[in-house]
Amino acid sequence: EKKFLINKEQYDNLIPILLKYMDYDEYCKDGRNYSIYNLYYDTENDDVIRHSIYKPYYKEKLRLRSYRTPKSVDESVFLELKKKINGIVNKRRVVMTLGEAYDFLESGKRPQTEDYINNQVLNEIEYYLKNNPVYPKVYIGYSRKALFGKEDRDFRVSFDSKIMARRDDLSLESGSYGDGLLEDNIYLMEVKILGAMPLWFANILSELEIYNTHFSKYGDEYVKYTLERQNSDLRRREKIC
């Protein structure tokens, strides 16, 4: 998984070239963006994200994801355990209703399923919950455009924009609002591939002067939140003095 921050000009130049080699994914109806809404779970002391930002050999995050704002607890959502081992990302997820997800995460009531794979994922998440006292800490929503390689379906490029985050009103039902994590007309491009990057894609990045960077939605939100809290404490102490 590689990440890049690009501007509007680079984005506009890149998309037509990518479409020669790639197709939009199933959620991009007629090439339109789709929305992703997430609740990230962490401990009271933010142990999960604090561990993650130090780029350890192994890390994992639990999040609840939806592709639209749920109108009721009967709508389907995805509970995901995202793992990264030495830079290699593996995502385990299971589908359930929003009500089932809240019951599982808040009281440990496990959803019933006959599907073998779903049960295996639930086992992993159940184990994670037993060893990590987590609860909702951050909401992050954004708009995404995603493409897959025509010849290699494992080659995926996505563009995220309008990334919004908040630390209150932590429910998927409340919709996407909060503080922006990126400047206007800046896109987070994520590249996922098994093996080597295609030569044609590497050449395009070079021509458009697009360079690899480090960006984590939850990680950068946490750093921003921490700095704002420190500055607020400093101003309060100065006012007292």
Q: Is the pLDDT of residue 58 over 90?
A: yes
Work out the burial of residue 165: count CB atoms within 10 Å of its CB; fewer than 13 is exposed, 13-18 middle, 19 or more buried. buried
Q: What is the pLDDT of residue 241?
A: 65
| pLDDT tens column, 158-209 | 999 999 999 999 999 999 999 999 999 999 999 998 878 899 999 999 999 9
Q: Integer distance in angstroms from the first to the last C-alpha of the chain?
A: 48
Question: What pTM was computed for the model?
Answer: 0.91
The tens digit of pLDDT for each residue in 64-77 reads 999 999 999 999 99
Tokens 């007629």 locate to 30
